[in-house]
Chains A and B, each alone.
Chain A
């Protein structure tokens, strides 16, 4: 039986089927907690723990899903093209929003880490938390952070954002799709963008652009730290 779990097809199957269940559930239960990624994650971890399957075995297949990170995120280019009119009209709000958001993200992290007396390497790991994985890991190295801690912070900002932001939007009755898109992309990178795409085409495209601009802003701000 052990060999079956290490077969790459198992990891792919488990990911596809749990994500399908997550997506199916999310479409029926209109709650921010019913998020396809979160449901898939919980179901996968539950299956791996219950059947005592090592993470390494799961990743034999899981790595093939991860490989599609670049092709899937690249398709944001299509959303951007489809929304080019909005982007032209809203150029300044988007760029200034991304810059302000990146400053708030890094500034609040520094202040909060000092207040809670976290270790210096934790601060370095947390600074790039709002940007997309590839940029965040490079920045973490550059600042002297721990890669896996950065990875966790990035994932929490993404999945946490996909859950928390819709709550905030409902609570405060935030309505502007452009501002929502910029806020999603700047605070919660690609995972937030995936959620923004579910909310609407404008939100998704603006979030995709903002994720890129915020990434570049963060890299530049980090040069001064």
Chain B
């Protein structure tokens, strides 16, 4: 069991390092996290990696993902002074735009789904 977790962690870190390397070669700024997501999905899709090779460690990381954002969110609280005089406007813009984006995206996806369903002649909306 111990060896298994070590091996899984090794594979995961190797994928991340490969992503960092690829990003360093790109002429444009592209995030390494998105690159690592693509590499992992590609390796699994091409059957070069089996789910079992990373499963336990990956599921642990997936279910506790939000912990990696704790330090940076504390840093934000520390830096709040930068917004002096603009705080209300800042919060209003961020929150209003956030809600608009969420609803607008949801509605767009539903419209496209319903249009595609109609085109396919299936009639009913794909409800989940």
- A interface residues with partner B (beta carbon < 8 Å): 11, 15-16, 18-19, 23, 35-37, 40-41, 44-45, 48, 55, 58-59, 62-63, 65-66, 68-82, 84, 90, 92-94, 96-98, 100-101, 104-105, 108-109, 112-113, 116-119, 122, 126, 129-130, 132-135, 138, 142, 146, 148-149, 151-153, 155-162, 164-165, 168, 174-180, 182-184, 186-188, 190-191, 193-195, 197, 202, 204, 208, 211-212, 215-216
Nearest 6 A/B pairs, CB to CB: A77-B40, A134-B31, A62-B71, A101-B105, A74-B36, A97-B109
Contact of A48 among B15, B74, B109 (CB under 8 A): B74
* Chain A, residue nearest B100 (CB): A108
State the total of A-B contacts with C-beta under 8 angstroms: 310
B-side interface residues toward A, CB under 8 Å? 12-13, 15-16, 19-20, 29-34, 36-41, 44-45, 51, 54, 58-59, 61-80, 82-83, 86, 89-106, 108-110, 112-113, 116, 126-128
With a cutoff of 8 Å between Cβ atoms, the chain B residues found around residue A84 in the complex are: 45
Q: Which of B67, B75, B90 contacts A16 (CB 8 A)?
A: B67
Residues of B within 8 A of A156 (CB): 76, 91, 94-95, 98
> How near does chain B come to A206, taking the closest CB pair, in angstroms?
9
Give which listed residue, B20, B63, B128, contacts A177 with CB less than 8 A: B128
Cβ-defined contact, B102 with A96, below 8 A: no
A93 lies within 8 A of B94 (CB): no
A155 contacts B69, C-beta separation under 8 Å = yes
Main secondary structure of the interface of B (DSSP, over half): helix
> Could you say which of B44, B59, B66, B76 contacts A194, with CB atoms under 8 Å apart?
B66
Contacts of B95 in A (CB 8 A): 156, 160, 164
Chain A residues near B69: list those with CB within 8 A: 37, 69, 155, 158-159, 190-191, 194
A-B contact pairs, 25 of them (CB 8 A): A36-B67, A55-B75, A58-B71, A62-B70, A66-B71, A66-B72, A78-B44, A81-B44, A81-B45, A81-B51, A90-B113, A96-B109, A101-B108, A108-B97, A109-B97, A122-B86, A126-B97, A151-B75, A152-B76, A152-B90, A184-B102, A186-B102, A187-B101, A194-B65, A202-B128
Contact B39 A65 (CB under 8 A): no
In the assembled complex, the CB of A156 is this many whole angstroms from the nearest CB of chain B, namely: 5
- A130/B98 in contact, CB under 8 A: yes
> In the complex, how many angstroms separate the beta carbon of B100 from the nearest chain A beta carbon?
5
Q: Could you tell me if A75 and B62 are in contact, using CB atoms closer than 8 angstroms?
A: yes
Q: Which of B13, B58, B96, B112 sits near A78, CB closer than 8 Å?
A: B58
